[in-house]
Amino acid sequence: MAKRIIIGLATLALLLGALPMASLAAEGPDEEFRAYWVDAFGEGIFNEAEVDELVAAAKAANMNAIVAQIGRRGDCFCNDAIMPRTQAAIAPLPYDPLQTLIDKAHAEGIEVHAWIIATAIWNSAAPPLDPDHVYNTHGPSATGYDDWVMTRYDGSRPGDTYLDPGHPDAVDYIVSMYTSVVENYDVDGINFDRIRYPDGQLAAWPLDNSWGYNPVSLARFHAATGRSDRPLPDDPEWSQWRRDQVTNIVRKVYLETFAIKPDVRISASTITYGDGPDQLGGWEQSRPYRETLQDWRAWMEEGILDLNMPMNYKREFCTGGPIPGCFGGFSQ
């Protein structure tokens, strides 16, 4: 099982969010955040024996947190959230992966942070088995306002199915994925993943995001700006409007979680595509900001993110030289 655990994102690159508001933790978080990342596409929390092995491994390695993926694609490795229980081959009811992990990890003094993919809701040609899964109720087969799915500039919807951050009902659902977990489980934190617009840009705009053209989202953009055109992917006003929609989700989750349980920490696994910025104004030209419309620097500055966990998907060298120099641009 140990090979399935993603180790050390936080120990390699952890940014503490700027906190102009009062700290969420009554006594303050540990100075070090030493975590195992446990994906739910492989073994780790599928049954109680795996949870026992995971917690024992974390304790032996002196970890003080486990960031466990409990939301993959609109499902939940839990029994009590707005998302339906996963159809993955987990142990039968009444087994609850998240509750079991919380009970066993907390008994060893280890925090549990619930990792949930935000916008991606399905990645298979066959639809989910549960009729209440958001893909079945508001996915590609839905029409009109009930269609929450992301669309590209050319009208296509290739690859994974994503909810559009510009659709108000989609936003409310995404927010409730996180808050329903906070309401029903004693988690120490929640972790955003894929809190952004998708990859897969059109060839004519390789550096700009081509997604976000759900009709409801586009109508809201028109209402906000007084425009009536179909903006190009590289349109600055359109790009900023979409960027703001992602930030809105983070802000709503932060504020609603704070109202439910003020000590729950909000984290995000953020994009670091390409080289980090190395000059004034470089962030606005970076791939996270421009290509995925994920302005995680602004989230830290606003104080709506307690922990930023930049994802280091890099080889030992990058275009700017050794990886510490390239990655360092994002951490400064």
Tokens of 82: 């707005």
* Cα-only R_g, the chain: 20
β-pairing, 317-318 with 307-310? unpaired
Domain ranges of the chain: 2-124+164-201+243-327
Mapping DSSP to helix (H, G, I), strand (E, B) and coil, where does residue 62 land? coil
Q: What is the pLDDT of residues 115-144, one digit of tens each?
A: 999 999 999 989 999 999 999 999 999 999
Q: Model's pTM, two decimal places?
A: 0.85
Determine the topology of domain 2-124+164-201+243-327 in CATH. Answer: TIM Barrel (3.20.20)
Q: What is the pLDDT of residues 175-223, one digit of tens each?
A: 999 999 999 999 999 999 999 999 888 999 998 999 999 999 999 999 9
Neighbour-count burial of 166, counting CB atoms closer than 10 A to its CB (0-12 exposed, 13-18 middle, 19+ buried): buried
Return the percentage of the chain with pLDDT > 90, whole number: 73
What local confidence, expressed as pLDDT, does residue 320 receive?
54
Please answer whether residues 269 and 311 qualify as being in contact, where contact means their C-beta atoms are separated by less than 8 angstroms: yes
Tokens of 217: 């989202």
